[in-house]
Structure 1
Amino acid sequence: MSDSGRWAKTPKLLSRQACRQSNAVHGLTMRKISTFSQATFYLFSKTFLFSCCFLAALASCDAVFAQFEIKDPSPEAKLNHVDFGSGTVTQSPGHSVEVRNEWGDRVIAKSYALIGERLVVLLPTGELSVVDPKDVRLTSTPFRPASRREILDELQQYDRFKRWKFAQSKNHLFLYHCSGNFVAKVAKILETIHMGVSEHLVRKGFQLKPDPFPLVVLIFPTQKEFQEFSGSPDGIGAYYNTITNHVVLFEKSNISDDAPIFAYDQVLSTVAHEGVHQTLHNLGIQRRMSRWPMWLSEGLPEYFAPTTKGRDVIWKGVGQVNDFRMSQLAGLVHSQVASANNLIPEILTRPAIDSTGYALSWGLVHYLADAHPDAFWEYVKEISKRQPFERGALELQAEDIENDVELFGENIDTSLTQLHMGMVEHLRSLRYRDPAQDETHYLLLLQYIEGKRQRRFAGITLSRDSIAEWKAEHIADLTSEQLKSASFRIIEFETKALAERYGARWMAGDNRRVLH
């Protein structure tokens, strides 16, 4: 079948199991960070050549989505998960209804959607809640959004938040237990993003429908306390919860001791990404609990949210090069793999994505917005029409992905091959600064004899804590004979470039230490 004909019938590249895994979390958009450089662990193999160093050995984010749950439910568990059930979805016209909130108080809410026999309502605080229709009463009393003070008072009913401080900006409300300096930096990034994204969307012809709620941001002091609250696994740097309408994040990362500058920059980059999610949902561009194709849902925030380092971390502006993502893709787009394999079908059909998937999603969005701007933004407008809980939002099916790709092909009238070649050439032309280039890196070297051949593997990481994990993972695959000949070394370098240069020489069989 010719390339142009592939849009007529989408290839089934998606398994039913993958769809089921992607449904494990309702209402959370999460961005994975890592102990590995640029959220990527560089894997070198004598077998695959050094040019394939982009291959990620980091656990896929698919598993993160599949396994995410509240492991030790706290009183705040409802802030992280709501079971919407299943059944026929009926969109609600937004009637005012009287319901009981979490504390048993009668409040005036707004009907949001009916799922089977369960009614989803929008509470005055901006949170979504599921109620039994038998406990709901229609009322002529108009819906009134809660004030900022009322939202704070409700959050501070939880013991965890009783002694937290609060701050506010034009659009955001912050409840925090971290340094005031960090809150100020987060506020500056989120406010500039909210204004910049809003202005860009208006220029592109979108009709904004702002929600009447402040954008709530909860900031924990450490990653450990963030994980205790959210139940999230290692690697999640922040999330936007479409159920509560909150962005949740932390100040001090687990890798702060090993790579303090990179960790700080990465946390703020993640904040920017999640802030875009919150902005898009609260401007009516992406209705809360509506499903977008994964590549667009994550790639568009990456496009809107690039940060840069001057005297401090600041927002670069819509469509500027995302240094974190481009540094991940640099090896890939210059490799033989990118030349020999069409990356577009994989990007379009993934129901859940890992760190490299985020980068590729950003790359496709950046290319389309540059090379096919009119068609791309019209496509986004079409996706923006999707309603809550429809088109696989509750239970993703393979046909939902196929329909997504078909709609993409109808709007982006370019063959898969042309899209791939155009994207790769576009990404190759971009200039960027590697955010981790000046951090200490650890080069991990493993070699052993297999038959009559010598095998070599090397990895580069920012974190000392990840070294034992990498060693155990690679040694576990060796036979007893291979273990007898195996040797493992760790070399510390002042910069990433020095580690890569030595690694390249070592993989080529040159064991000289290259420091210049």
Structure 2
Amino acid sequence: MTARRFFLLSLLSAALTADAAQPNYQVTIDGRTLQGTPLQQSTSQLLLLARDGSYQQVQLNEAENLRRLPGTFRSYSQSEIRGRLLREFGRNFDVSGTGNYLVVHPRGKHDQWAPRFEKLYRSFQVYFGARGVQLKPLRFPLIAIVFPTRSDFLRYAQRQGVSTSRSTRGYYSHQSNRIILYDVTAGRPSAPWHENASTIIHETVHQVAFNTGLHSRSAAPPRWVSEGLAMMFEAPGVWDARKHPRLTDRINRQRMEVFEEYRSTRPKGQLASLVTSDRVFHQNVLQAYSEAWALTFFLAETRPRQYTEYLLRTSQRKPFRAYSQQERLRDFTACFGDNLTLLEAHYLRFIDGL
């Protein structure tokens, strides 16, 4: 590394905590030009927040022509990102703008796909606005990619280095800040569409939460928090309370059934394990997801002020630092009290009574 480049990279560290006045840099890697603002750096790597909202990991020994550009960092415009997406995905896809979203979808399928993401974004705003939470404005247009078949979806995920399972129908990528999914009906008009709808809801909630300040991409919350919120919104009474106003409409029936089956073998004191560690998600995924939904639903229904306070608390941690068990427990008890045994009893009684 040249002395000039080392000096310039040292200057980048001053931009890591700024927001409105973030500087804009340009770098060339293998002939590809990137523009972005630095988030984190080491002696060998630089993490850039790119102008399309993605995270770009730059190997410094491969970087060329690193320089600061005039002005401050800002997102590409929606029209600029739309043009980039059209070039990326080609003539078999349309790119539809819906206000806050750019949705890449098979040609001629605008009405089937594009409005749904925007509707969920607005439902999310209404839900938290009614609870007194002022969400942050979006910094970037939100992007969703819809592939026509599972094979197309799997090829894209593999190119992006994303591992999938047989049950994966879509995902939100922290790295690209995109939703990726596929049409499980394979375009058959008579096929049931509810699985597509559930995937859109779940992944859109992830994306919107990570882009409006409820979660932080650089300091992710415990897994039960992000997954529980997304699963809670899958119930029609949450994302469309005007048409579905009853408590029973807000219950995620699929997760409730799994939790009821799990209830008889659920270990005593499981609440503390869920709060302080993500390891339960590596032991039994279905049970962990059902518990994440059940705890989230209990807190949102019975302790809404403390729940939103907790969401914001977990989003305001220092970036790119591990979240220890002690810190997780401290943040949880600061919002819900330190008597976890009593809270767990109230929680289970509430779920059992649904």
Taking structure 1 as the reference length, what is the TM-score of the superposition? 0.55
Give the root-mean-square deviation of aligned CA atoms: 3.3
Which residue is 1:329 aligned to?
259
Taking a change above 3 Å as real, the CA distance of residues 229 and 118 of structure 1, as seen in their structure-2 partners, is same
Which of 116, 119, 135 in structure 2 is aligned with 1:208?
135
Deviation at 1:245, TM superposition (A): 1.3
Which residue is 1:397 aligned to?
none
Q: How far apart, in 1, do the equivalents of 2:181 and 2:119 lie?
A: 18
Question: What per-residue deviation string (whole Å, max 9, x for no partner) do you get for residues 310-333 of structure 1?
Answer: xxxx99689921222123223334
Which residue is 1:401 aligned to?
325
Deviation at 1:165, TM superposition (A): 1.6
Alignment of 1:141 onto 2:71: yes
Q: How far apart, in 1, do the equivalents of 2:223 and 2:104 lie?
A: 30
Deviation at 1:116, TM superposition (A): 5.0
Which residue is 2:171 aligned to?
239
Q: How far apart, in 2, do the equivalents of 1:162 and 1:149 lie?
A: 17
Q: How far apart, in 2, do the equivalents of 1:203 and 1:117 lie?
A: 46
Deviation at 1:121, TM superposition (A): 1.7
Higher RCO, Cα 8 Å, sep 6+: 1
Q: Whose Rg is larger?
A: 1
Taking a change above 3 Å as real, the CA distance of residues 283 and 384 of structure 1, as seen in their structure-2 partners, is same
Which residue is 1:124 aligned to?
51
Determine if contact 1:306/1:315 at 8 Å carries over to the other structure. Answer: no
Report how many residues are paired: 320
Code of the aligned partner of 2:38? S
Tell me the secondary structure at the aligned position of residue 215 of structure 2: coil
Instruction: Specify every segment of 5 or more residues in structure 2 that has no aligned partner in the other structure, as ranges.
Output: 1-12, 159-163
Which of 275, 278, 300 in structure 2 is aligned with 1:350?
278
Tell me the secondary structure at the aligned position of residue 157 of structure 1: helix
Q: How far apart, in 2, do the equivalents of 1:239 and 1:102 lie?
A: 27
Which of 283, 304, 308 in structure 1 is aligned with 2:212?
283
Alignment of 1:380 onto 2:311: yes
Which of 97, 112, 121 in structure 2 is aligned with 1:168?
97
Determine if contact 1:276/1:305 at 8 Å carries over to the other structure. Answer: no
Determine if contact 2:86/2:94 at 8 Å carries over to the other structure. Answer: no
Deviation at 1:273, TM superposition (A): 0.8
Q: How far apart, in 1, do the equivalents of 2:36 and 2:244 lie?
A: 39
Tell me the secondary structure at the aligned position of residue 141 of structure 1: strand
Q: How far apart, in 2, do the equivalents of 1:161 and 1:384 lie?
A: 37
Taking a change above 3 Å as real, the CA distance of residues 411 and 284 of structure 1, as seen in their structure-2 partners, is closer
Which residue is 2:161 aligned to?
none
Alignment of 1:367 onto 2:298: yes
Which residue is 1:413 aligned to?
337
Q: How far apart, in 1, do the equivalents of 2:234 and 2:215 lie?
A: 16
Q: How far apart, in 1, do the equivalents of 2:206 and 2:42 lie?
A: 24
Determine if contact 1:218/1:248 at 8 Å carries over to the other structure. Answer: yes
Q: How far apart, in 2, do the equivalents of 1:228 and 1:366 lie?
A: 35
Q: How far apart, in 2, do the equivalents of 1:164 and 1:190 lie?
A: 17
Q: How far apart, in 2, do the equivalents of 1:332 and 1:383 lie?
A: 28
Alignment of 1:190 onto 2:114: no
Instruction: Specify every segment of 5 or more residues in structure 1 that has no aligned partner in the other structure, as ranges.
Output: 1-87, 309-313, 393-399, 431-516
Determine if contact 1:303/1:322 at 8 Å carries over to the other structure. Answer: yes
Q: How far apart, in 2, do the equivalents of 1:186 and 1:415 lie?
A: 46
Tell me the secondary structure at the aligned position of residue 136 of structure 1: strand
Tell me the secondary structure at the aligned position of residue 169 of structure 2: strand
Q: How far apart, in 2, do the equivalents of 1:139 and 1:378 lie?
A: 38
Q: How far apart, in 2, do the equivalents of 1:153 and 1:101 lie?
A: 21
Taking structure 2 as the reference length, what is the TM-score of the superposition? 0.78
